[in-house]
Amino acid sequence: MIFSTLGRYFLKAYFATLGWFFVGVVSIIYLIDFSEVVGNISAAAGQGIGDALLITALRLPYIFQQTVPFIALFAGMVTLIALNRRYELVVTRAAGISVWQFMTPFVAGAFILGLFSILALNPLASWSQQRATAIQSVGSNGNSDTIPWLRQRTDGQDTIIGGRAITNNGTQLVGAVVIFFGDQGQITKRLDARTATLSDGWWDLEEVTQIVPGDLTTQMATTRVKTNLEQKFVQQRLLQADLVNFYDLPESIRKGRQFGVSTKALETQYNYLLSLPLLMVAMTLIAATVCLKFSRFSQSPVVILGGILSGFLLYVTSVLVKAFGSSGVLPPLVAAWIPVVVAMALGLTILLHQEDG
């Protein structure tokens, strides 16, 4: 069916609707996020409207990828409703083509959308979000919600290091803070730096402010803090699972296991990305359950609202279960795949009941 003239026509209609939704959602996200970014940039750090426009553009793929399941749902609903209103699905049924045949192009289109999200959108979002974080953190006046701290003891010196944000796949801290402790546990020195970059055996700090209790504050262009932490180990400790692109996830999981670092979040993210094509298919099946019934004038608002709520419930459930997998409450494989499998089974069951009794 998908390679027939009718199948290509349906697939083209689906992708055309997807394109319009892409343009609309991207525009809305950009406008809303731009208003937030403008309020967070710092004129004192030399940032202006141009920086806000750049940061917003870099953040766009990361935010946009969160909306793709809903785009699949709405694109499927709008396309099917439009085809119904133009009697095209009625004629298709009258020609003896079953729902399972003419739904094939839409399912294939949703699957392709999922593959696009994994293979192209996710790596782009990973790269651009890290660049946006690095630029935005330079002028940020506040701390991030989660501050990563690392404790190290090198040559008898006890030190902790943290920062406002993480960039370069976990090897650079932006807005870094290094605190030195004495033998009795008292704070002996503090270093505040614009960035702290991990190299072989050293943290390289730039634009440093040194604070020593009872002494004057000292400004330094650069300084170094010795460390015995291995670069790969630090990467695994500081990595944010949703900022690792799809192609690097298997290697990151392997390295994390080597260093004894928990890889639950990385494994859950990897399985979640693998399940995305089927999640898009599940969204399309949900759209089909509420939009295939012919109505001469308009679809029932209650039925359409039910489809939207069902898709929203599926997405929220998948995100919630994904959080359980990342925290170790559920096995990563189960957390990523069970909601998708259940949703597909329900969608197919409802369609079987509606079409075949």
Q: Which residue has the tokens 């027939």?
A: 4
Give the mean model confidence (pLDDT) for residues 292-300: 59
Give the mean model confidence (pLDDT) for residues 277-304: 76
- pLDDT of res. 144: 45
Q: Note whether 26 and 124 are same-domain residues.
A: yes
Count of domains for the chain? 2
Q: Is residue 144 part of a domain?
A: no
- pLDDT of res. 281: 93
pLDDT at 298 over 60: no
pLDDT at 141 over 60: no
Question: Among 68, 110, 114, 119, which residue's Cα sits nearest to residue 246?
Answer: 119
Q: Note whether 119 and 188 are same-domain residues.
A: no
- pLDDT of res. 299: 55
pLDDT digits (tens, 9 = 90+) for 104-114: 999 999 999 99
Q: Is residue 272 part of a domain?
A: yes
pLDDT at 333 over 70: yes
Exposed / middle / buried, residue 115 (Cβ in 10 Å: 0-12, 13-18, 19+): middle
**Full residue range of the structural domain in which residue 305 is found:** 5-139+262-356
The least confident of 91-95, 210-214, 217-221, 302-306 is 302-306
- pLDDT of res. 172: 80
- pLDDT of res. 231: 67
Q: Note whether 267 and 253 are same-domain residues.
A: no
pLDDT at 284 over 50: yes
Element (H, E) at 206: strand 202-211
Q: Note whether 31 and 178 are same-domain residues.
A: no
Q: Note whether 281 and 337 are same-domain residues.
A: yes
Exposed / middle / buried, residue 93 (Cβ in 10 Å: 0-12, 13-18, 19+): middle
pLDDT at 2 over 70: no
- Interatomic CA distance for residues 100 and 242, integer angstroms: 35
For the chain, the average pLDDT equals 83
Q: Is residue 300 part of a domain?
A: yes
Q: Note whether 253 and 170 are same-domain residues.
A: yes
**Sign of the CA dihedral with 316 first, then 114, 346, and 343 last:** negative
Q: Is residue 273 part of a domain?
A: yes
pTM over 0.85: no
Look at residues 228, 257, 286 and tell me which one is the last residue of a structural domain.
Answer: 257
- Interatomic CA distance for residues 34 and 52, integer angstroms: 7
3-class SS at 1? Answer: coil
Q: Note whether 131 and 82 are same-domain residues.
A: yes
Q: Note whether 279 and 241 are same-domain residues.
A: no
Look at residues 211, 238, 257 and tell me which one is the last residue of a structural domain.
Answer: 257
Q: Domain holding 241: CATH number?
A: 2.60.450
- pLDDT of res. 145: 45
Quote the tokens at residue 251: 């290697």
Exposed / middle / buried, residue 192 (Cβ in 10 Å: 0-12, 13-18, 19+): middle
Q: Note whether 253 and 266 are same-domain residues.
A: no
- pLDDT of res. 61: 94
pLDDT digits (tens, 9 = 90+) for 3-44: 688 888 999 999 999 999 999 999 999 999 998 888 777 665
3-class SS at 159? Answer: strand
Q: Note whether 63 and 25 are same-domain residues.
A: yes
- pLDDT of res. 91: 86
Look at residues 257, 276, 298 and tell me which one is the last residue of a structural domain.
Answer: 257
- pLDDT of res. 143: 43
Q: Is residue 250 part of a domain?
A: yes
Q: Note whether 331 and 312 are same-domain residues.
A: yes
Confidence band of 317 (pLDDT split at 50, 70, 90): confident
- Interatomic CA distance for residues 342 and 357, integer angstroms: 21
Element (H, E) at 181: strand 172-181
pLDDT digits (tens, 9 = 90+) for 195-239: 888 887 888 999 899 998 888 888 999 998 888 777 666 766 667
Give the mean model confidence (pLDDT) for residues 150-162: 81
Q: Is residue 303 part of a domain?
A: yes
Q: Is residue 104 part of a domain?
A: yes
| Residue 75 or residue 2, greater confidence | 75
pLDDT at 169 over 70: no
Q: Note whether 132 and 266 are same-domain residues.
A: yes
Quote the tokens at residue 13: 């209609």
The least confident of 81-90, 234-243, 290-299 is 290-299
Give the mean model confidence (pLDDT) for residues 317-324: 87
- pLDDT of res. 32: 92
